[in-house]
Copies of this chain bind each other. A is one copy, B any other.
């Protein structure tokens, strides 16, 4: 997996802060420290709409089609341009191998993946349209996708995708997105966390241990 931030709103954090301020019309000193604490305060109070004024564009290479299928379920504040398997011939057999499979099953997994790609290539060379030949390719096969996401959706999607219960490949993807954002918007990067940090509790039926589940928080409060 290779994730590169190819474009972004310049001075994104300042743009968010000054947009939000326009709505309250007060004069303010926009030092980096001020902007950072202002953004933190907005997020804590749930005022996330100003975060829609800043966007980040990533070139994402080498994720599986299993992962991209999940990724494109994000619908709000996001744009995707994905490499088409209808028009682009996959000449090389690049595919993703989950680490659980690497231990013991790797050879058969790789052999079958290569066999699928061989049949794909033969069919394409034999005149089968690429859009049909690709049906034989496992969903482990790699794709490339350009994604633009605004800061609000980055925060929101990270709450889901950075959770320990998220599927490993999409979690790894969001960790990469976060690393890229850190280079240009460190205050926003601070907000890219699983939702339990904001809630103070875990919404899953069983917690990973980071925060207690909702029930246990209530018990605790009740005991005071």
Contacts and interface: CB of A to CB of B under 8 A. Distances in A.
Interface residues of A, number: 93
Interface in A97-132: 97-98, 100-101, 104-105, 108-109, 112-113, 115-116, 119, 123, 126, 128-129, 131-132
A57 B19 contact: yes
Interface string A25-68: 10000000000000000001110011011010101000011101
Contact of A214 (B44, B96, B139): B44
Contacts of A79: 49-50, 52-53, 77, 150
A105 B85 CA distance: 19
Given A199-B199, A224-B224, 19 more contacts: A7-B10, A9-B9, A10-B10, A19-B57, A22-B144, A24-B87, A25-B83, A45-B205, A49-B79, A50-B79, A55-B55, A95-B135, A100-B129, A101-B133, A105-B119, A109-B123, A112-B116, A135-B140, A200-B217
Contact of A139 (B45, B138, B168): B138
Number of copies: 4
B73 A80 contact: yes
B83 A23 contact: yes
Contacts of A73: 72, 80
A82 interface: yes
A76 B150 CA distance: 13
A183 interface: no
A105 B18 CA distance: 37
Most buried by B among A22, A68, A218: A22
